[in-house]
Chain A
Amino acid sequence: MNYTLVIHGAPASSQACQTALSFAQAAVKRGHSIYRVFFLGDAVHTGSSLTVPPQGEANLHQAWKEFGEEHQIDMVICISAALKRGLLDESEATRYDKAASNIEAPFTISGLGQLIDGTAAADRTITFGN
């Protein structure tokens, strides 16, 4: 089965990103594939490379990054949700003349078209945290 995962909940204040990651890990382990992970709303914070979780707490940015790199997962951060929360990749930072960027590979920034495409292309779409 080919899955697209849609995540709404914030990594620091909800369980959505962790539940989605656990699902993705279990799915891949069972031989399924992840077509795309789309981070929407507050879930876009997962993409921030400036995240510093307290000692003893899960680092969801790092965990998703490692999972994405290991399995070559397409992980898309919703652009409109990201920009207004201060999450930018290098090209957006340049475009808006900002001092820094915090979204980098394997995360990419793109629009809702990627959500709809992911939904149409996958066998199943699962929403986490809304």
Chain B
Amino acid sequence: MSKICIVSSHSPYSSTSVRDGIESLLVAASFDMDASLLVLGDGILQLLNKQAPESLPQKNTGSLLQALEIYGVESIYVCEQDLVDRGLTQDDLILTPTIISRSQVPSLLQEQDSILNF
């Protein structure tokens, strides 16, 4: 099974990058690929559990991410340093992503057959 990682490093509502990334992830999963999501930098804000973007109006990225499991995407990675930098903990996040250190990122990417940046 081909491994694909979507790297998402933008905050949720300033552009369509995040939604484009999530949609690509869903398509990859529907293609029977081993699809994972690596959230970097401000991308961590997509996972906040108290988002209320209704007045923007935009779709809640947290809710979109919650749908990933239904599509068979179970691997979501975040960097511990990105949480620390923003004063966040696991309790602030929707889902339970795998928390890795910055130094583990290269090997995670190394295992992939393909990577798409959003």
Q: CB-CB contacts of B25-57 with A at 8 A, as 1s and 0s?
A: 001100101000000000000000000000000
Which residues of chain A from 103 to 130 have a CB within 8 Å of any chain B CB?
111-113, 115-117, 119-120, 122, 125, 127, 130
Complex interface: chain B residues within 8 A of A116 (CB): 4, 24, 27-28, 31, 33
Complex interface: chain B residues within 8 A of A113 (CB): 27, 31
Identify A125's interface contact among B33, B114, B118, CB under 8 A.
Answer: B114
Instruction: Please give the residue numbers on chain A whose beta carbons come within 8 Å of chain B beta carbons, in ascending order.
Output: 6, 8, 40-41, 80-81, 111-113, 115-117, 119-120, 122, 125, 127, 130
> Given contacts A41-B17, A41-B20, A120-B4, is CB(A125)–CB(B27) below 8 Å?
no
B23 close to A (CB within 8 Å): yes
Q: Provide a sorted-by-A list of 15 A–B residue pairs whose CB atoms are within 8 angstroms.
A: A40-B20, A41-B17, A112-B24, A113-B31, A115-B27, A116-B4, A116-B31, A119-B4, A119-B28, A119-B114, A120-B33, A120-B113, A120-B114, A125-B114, A125-B116
CA distance A9 to B33 in the complex (A): 27
Contacts A112-B27, A120-B4, A120-B113 aside, 16 further interface pairs with beta carbons under 8 A come to A40-B20, A41-B16, A81-B16, A111-B27, A112-B24, A113-B31, A116-B4, A116-B24, A119-B28, A119-B114, A120-B31, A120-B33, A120-B114, A125-B114, A127-B116, A130-B117
Contact A117 B31 (CB under 8 A): yes
CA distance A113 to B2 in the complex (A): 15
Complex interface: chain B residues within 8 A of A130 (CB): 17, 117-118
B115 close to A (CB within 8 Å): yes
